[in-house]
Structure formats: structure tokens, C-alpha cells
Amino acid sequence: MSKVFFSVTVSLDGYMAPEWRSDDQWMSQWTRLQDYMFHQRFIRNNLKFGGAADGETGDDNRIQEETFQRTGVTIMGRRMFDLGERSWPEDAPFHTPVFVLTHQERKSWERPGGTVFHFVNDGYESALRQAREVAGDRDIRIGGGVNTVQQYLNAGLVDEFHLAVAPVLLGSGLRLFDGVDPASIGLELQEALKTPRVHHLRYTVKAATPAAT
């Protein structure tokens, strides 16, 4: 069965997204948080930034490419979709089905390159059931935003996750693990890797070990 995972960048003080003050300020903070991504050749090619030979090809790039290759389906929230719809190239950077959690009804939206957005109105469990039907032998990525990741964590539906910890302090915003019940989740570190730009941490998720009495 496909694994369910997420792979996100967080600030050193634990924020996955900055606090919204204005569109310009939010984008400035978010770009600072995600800075290492925009230097990677795979990301630059996928977003149609510059030429095919532009960008770095080290461990950061390898991890991004491996994440893309393992992903057969992405699930995301409506806010993340709305932000991306304004900024992704016409050939959206997924090339797989994408299920968008939303309260608004909308027909599926097909983009060049194999990305098809499906809009799910009946909750995160329904989105996961539909994702499993089309994932094949690849995995299911919970793309974000914060609330969407938290829903799947709290429901015990995440098998593993990867954090890229950026050397940035945001001070406020949306923390990845706020609202997540720490008593219900156990973590096992699988990998810790330092690159010149970020620290990569990879964990498997399991049921928490009961506290000793």
C-alpha cells in the first residue's frame, strides 16, 4: 500500500508559514523561508526558471528529485491551491493527480503535463480514499498547508515525514505542530543530513509509547 508522507520546510523556530500582514510581506517572508529550494536545478526546471542547466545539483537537489519521483498523488488545502494557481506555470509542477480539500464545488481542472486538480468537498478521509485509488505503486504526499498536514497527523494517517529546517527565524505565523496531540504520536528518526543551506530530518511516525506509571 502507498505510504502517506509530507515534506516541508520549517523555520528554526518551528513555523511552516509566516504570519499574514499583507500579500507583499507574506510573500517576502515565505520566499526567505523557502530560499534553498529556488537554488536547486530540479525545482528550477520544474517551475520553468532559467535554463535546463541552471541551479545546484547537490544533496538538496537530490532530495527534491527523489520526493517528486516517489509521489503519485498530492493532497492539499484550498489556500495552498489558491496561492499556487496564481504563481505556478501553465504546466503545473506536479504531473500527477492533485486532490484539493475545499468547501467550494468546482469541476476537475486539467493542466498540461499530466496534472489534474480534483476538488474534494467531503473531507480529508474522502480525499485520501480517492488518492489511494490512483496512486498506483507510488506514495501519497500531503502537500500542505499547515491545517491540512495537522488533520492527517491527528487522524494517525501519516506514515513518515521530512523536514528541511531553514536557518531563518520568523517569530510568528503558523507552527507545523501546534494543535497536534503529542501524546498520540511517536517518532523515529531515520535520517539527519546537514547541507550548506538547511538541515534535513526524516522521521517515521508510529503510535506513541505509553508513559511509564
Residue 211 pLDDT class (50, 70, 90 cuts): low
DSSP 48: T
CATH classification number, 4-207, choose in 2.60.40.1120, 3.40.430.10, 3.40.1190.20, 3.40.50.720: 3.40.430.10
DSSP state of 64: H
Check residues 131 and 181 and name the one with the higher pLDDT.
131
What ranges in the chain are assigned the alpha helix state H? 23-33, 41-46, 59-70, 78-87, 124-134, 146-154
80 near 145, Cβ under 8 Å?
yes
Measuring CA to CA, how many Å separate 155 from each of 39, 152, 159? 35, 5, 11
Domains of the chain by residue range: 4-207
| Model pLDDT, residue 167 | 97
Each residue of 87-117: pLDDT tens digit?
A: 888 999 999 999 999 999 999 999 999 999 9
User: Average pLDDT in the 154-172 region?
Assistant: 97
Question: What's the confidence (pLDDT) of residue 210?
Answer: 64
Span 41-63, pLDDT tens digits: 999 999 888 777 799 999 999 99
Q: What is the pLDDT of residues 68-91, one digit of tens each?
A: 999 999 999 999 999 888 888 899
Between these two residues, 205 and 211, which has the higher pLDDT value?
205
pLDDT at 184: 87
Give the pLDDT score at 57.
96
Q: How many CB atoms lie within 10 A of CB 76?
A: 24
Cα distance between residue 178 and residue 2, in whole Å? 27
